[in-house]
A and B are shown apart, each in its own frame.
Chain A
Amino acid sequence: MSAHPAILSEDQRDCYQELTNVAMGQAADRLARLLDAYVVLPIPRISVIESSELNMALQDAGNDSSVSAVCQGFIGSGIAGEAMLMFNDTSFASLAKLMQYTGPLDKHAELELLMDTASILIGACIHGIGEQLEIHFNQGHPVVLGQHCDMNDLLKHGNNGWDRTLAIEIHYTIEHANIECELLLLFTEESVKTLNKKIDFLLD
């Protein structure tokens, strides 16, 4: 796809990274308060990925083959995208403990944990990015992509209707607990132009 011009300049990439930094910090703060634990913040990864690379991006994200994931769409001011939260299946036992979840840790209980965490992390992160760009994002309903599935089966292969777009990846870990999750924000190809304009305005 070399025919496309690079859709992100270095300044823009830096700006996205900083906005994400702030937003994911706000999200981590909420999660930390909920779990009463410290969330280790990484440097978020901002990249332009091609649709064929989406699965590869996910592969990088998780080392474990068995994962559970939810997806949630967001839209506002002509900018749309989807957020995906993916957990290593090994994380649930610790998560249940930190959330003081009593009762058997079956598939249903894990779904509750997944949804509660997703509500907080996705909601706060989207809100945080939106706030800095002065966009109010509306969130759609979360969709369960799968529980205990192979990473390869998580996403249906097919034409997603886009070639290359902006991806933001955040890898959260909880200190002193065996919990790891990956938050991926993917914007639609059409949104990137509008987003970049907003970013340029901030950079000015």
Chain B
Amino acid sequence: MSQGQIEITDIHWLMDILQNIDVGLVVLDTDYNIHLWNAFMDSHSGISPQVAKGQNLFDLFSEVPEDWFRNKAEPVFQLKTRTFTIWEQRPYLFKFRNSRPITGRTEFMYQNTSIIPLESPDKRVNHICVIIYDVTDTAVGRLDINQAQETLTEIQSQDALTGLLNRTSWLPVLENLCSKEAQHAEPSSLLIIDLDHFRDLNRELGHDKGDEILKRLGAALQTLGGETHGARLGGELFGLILKGKDATQAVSTAERLRRSIATLNKGSTTLISASIGVAGWHPSVTSAIEWLSCADKALYHSKESGKNRTTLYQHKQPD
């Protein structure tokens, strides 16, 4: 090529390279008719160059969204600029089935594409080349990471045994309700539930059965109706936020819950009961911790006065 004249062998080489290169190459004219179709495209689509050449891209591949693709390709014709599409926008341009039964874990090939202008001797762009890259491995890796992150976040915010929120992720929910604005929009109340004599129960029935009871209680908290946010605060201690319920309504929900807890033994002779503390919101309550401490005091009162009962915390009235 150094003499400024391209040798025939060079062209053969170039054609060989184009045919064997592991990316897809498609040349299109302004009407989106196919002019070049390399071996990569042939192999993955099952359509030979002889068949593809001269056909319209959108007729041959109905999965290629015409408006979208034109939108990306027109600037290449008009502005002689390159454009790019990535798999995050659209997983693929051509729907090629996964060709690797062992290592391929997706149904189809993820693709990035570059669209480049091909200048004619008259300096006009009458043709463009679409280059298709197989990015399945990258995409799958990224999707795996995203999934793992989601799972991790979920694990971190949940109590493993009951599937309820844990204390750390539940407190902010309570904190958000600690304002005049939030309470004005909709009142909410707080319950703290503690299983009575749980240590004895565990000793008597074994930890497996004890865990089973905790799980059932967790499930019971989620089936009370209305908008609730339950959490396992530790051991046999549970917290429950009741949205849309004032203190009086919360007490009746607490009583309903206490009665249902008695049935958690599933007909066995073991007696199961719980003590509950209820605290409505009050303007003097400015943080989740303060609110929690009110409900805690009510719970303590229930425990001290014989367990298996509900106590409502009485906020001090301003003088």
In the complex, the answer to whether B81 meets A141 with C-beta atoms within 8 Å is no
Interface pair B81/A119, CB less than 8 Å apart? yes
Known: A127-B81, A141-B112, A141-B114. A120 touches B75 (CB 8 A): yes
B83 at the interface (CB under 8 A from A): yes
Chain A residue numbers with a CB within 8 Å of B84 are 72, 115, 119, 139, 141-142
- Distance (whole angstroms) from the CB of B292 to the closest CB of chain A: 30
Main SS at interface, chain B: mixed
Interface of A is mostly: helix
Given A123-B82, A127-B81, A139-B82, are A144 and B75 neighbors across the interface (CB < 8 Å)? Answer: no
Q: Which residues of B contact A141 (CB under 8 A)?
A: 84, 86, 112, 114, 133
Whether B19 is near chain A, meaning CB under 8 Å from some CB there, is no
CA distance A112 to B83 in the complex (A): 12
Q: A30-B81, A119-B75, A119-B81 are in contact. List 14 more A-B contacts (CB 8 A).
A: A111-B88, A115-B86, A116-B71, A116-B72, A119-B72, A123-B81, A123-B83, A139-B114, A141-B112, A141-B114, A141-B133, A142-B84, A142-B86, A143-B86
Cα-based distance from A143 to B83 in the complex (angstroms) = 13
Does B1 sit at the interface, judged by CB under 8 A?
no
Q: How far is the CA of A112 from the CA of B114 in the complex (A)?
A: 15
Task: Count residues of B near A (Cβ-Cβ below 8 Å).
Answer: 15
A interface bracket (residues with beta carbon within 8 Å of B): 10 to 19
Decide if B85 is an interface residue (CB 8 Å cutoff): yes
Q: With an 8 A cutoff between CB atoms, is B79 at the interface?
A: yes
- 1/0 contact trace for A137-149 toward B, CB 8 Å? 0010111100000
A124 within 8 A of B: yes
A135 CB to closest chain B CB (Å) equals 15
Interface string of B227-252 (1 = CB under 8 A from A): 00000000000000000000000000
- Any chain A CB within 8 A of the CB of B89? yes
